Amino acid sequence: MSPRWLAGHSVRLLENGEQYFPAVFDAIRRAEREVVLETFILLEDKVGWELHAALLDAVRRGVRVDVMVDGFGSHDLGPKFVGELVAAGVRLRTFEPSRRFLGIRFGMLRRMHRKIVVVDARLAFVGGINYSADHLADFGPLAKQDYAIEIRGPIVEQIRRFALAAIRRGRGDAAPALPADAPRRGAAAGPAAALFVTRDNWEHHNDIERHYRVAIRSARKRIWIANAYFFPGYLLLRGLRRAARRGVDVRLILQGEPDMPIAKMAASLLYEHLQRDGVEIHEYCRRPLHGKVAVVDDDWATVGSSNLDPLSLSLNLEANVIVRDRSFAAELSDKLEALMRTECKVIQCQPPCRAGVWQSLRSAVVFHVLRRFPDWAAWLPRHTPKLVARTGGRSESIGGRRAG
């Protein structure tokens, strides 16, 4: 079923762990009935242990707590960390535990990459921030720059039911009824319209990319995208080039100090192809960029977990919130403009004669490979992902067809 726009939301932009973690942990500490949490990465560092304490406190107050972590991103959780949560009553599940062979982890494709929190069916958080200390500035030069959204209003119920269905899939459990005092679908919390968009490998293969393309195609003023891993498909690239040719201010904020050098190398292969039509490339150089956000014109913005690369657009499980609200779009665009003005370098377009035959040939090959990548991704072997319930000393597989 296609997602629907819902009106009546209040939204708040959260930048980096300094804003995100206090907001999430405070919401969990105030929870009265239910906490639902999904994350790609949960580490046993100061952030992970603070989340651990907040979840323990909640479940001991009688709050129902459901948590799902990805088995690749959160592979190192120890028995003490897990055992204390499970013993207290937290329902903890691991999505597709990764396998090790000779010390090497395998199974990095089709990961559960979402970052979602829902508290008491009243408040939801969606974004790109994991539970690890590298999302805090005091981590040092490798601290990540990232964003999330806090949202209240009718769409929270939709996010809640989606997350619970994913966490409990395989058991046939239905999502528990909405708390009696929770906001109903028609209860407005603010002026913003919102859309919750996900990507999976069964029914919603390209929903997030499709909404990007629709917004890009309709843009008349600006398209500003900040994305950590930028290597999208042909249709999205073509949309950006066409927008720039018709006079839209198209700017990309990409990694200048990458956490994974291959990501910058891949994105750089597209620079010449985009710049020749007027797309501006800005590389964020203060620290690794981990954000996945965009603003189109004056009232469309998105924040979420989805990068614009083959893993996110064709393989991983992702979730974004799209917001139609002039105030929120203005706030996000102000943040991006500040990054471009003070912490980015503009990549100058090289004249064709200076680009070199090899560079031009390489860019052309990459561009044409991208035309067919979604089709090639579909050829990868499929299997039923395992959803494993953690029980402290052992794990119970409850995998279900629609988990992945």
Give residues with Cβ within 8 angstroms of 230, minimum separation 6. Answer: 252, 254, 263, 267, 270, 307, 308, 309
CA atoms of 126 and 319, how far apart (whole Å): 7
DSSP 318: E
CA atoms of 256 and 286, how far apart (whole Å): 8
Identify the active-site residue in 146, 207, 297, 325.
297
Catalytic site residue 46? Answer: no
Instruction: Tell me if residue 115 falls in helix, strand or coil.
Output: coil
Helix locations, 246-351, DSSP H: 261-268, 271-275, 310-314, 326-342
CA atoms of 330 and 299, how far apart (whole Å): 8
Catalytic site residue 120? Answer: yes
- Structure tokens of 131? 């539970």
Catalytic site residue 115? Answer: yes
- Structure tokens of 384? 């039923």
CA atoms of 94 and 71, how far apart (whole Å): 6
Give residues with Cβ within 8 angstroms of 209, minimum separation 6. Answer: 199, 232, 233, 235, 236, 308, 313
Q: Would strands 344-346 and 192-199 be described as parallel, antiparallel, or unpaired?
A: unpaired
Catalytic site residue 205? Answer: no
CA atoms of 295 and 215, how far apart (whole Å): 9
Identify the active-site residue in 264, 282, 290, 386.
290
Identify the active-site residue in 9, 52, 66, 115.
115
Strand ranges, E, within 167-311: 192-199, 222-227, 249-255, 280-284, 292-296, 300-304
- Structure tokens of 37? 């949490």
Instruction: Tell me if residue 194 falls in helix, strand or coil.
Output: strand
Identify the active-site residue in 135, 144, 292, 386.
292
Give residues with Cβ within 8 angstroms of 376, minimum separation 6. Answer: none
Identify the active-site residue in 70, 120, 207, 309.
120
- For residue 10, the Cα-to-chain-centroid distance in whole angstroms is 20
Identify the active-site residue in 9, 52, 113, 282.
113
Helix (H) or strand (E) holding 132, with range, is none
- Structure tokens of 241? 């080039």
- By annotation, the residues acting in catalysis are 113, 115, 120, 290, 292, 297
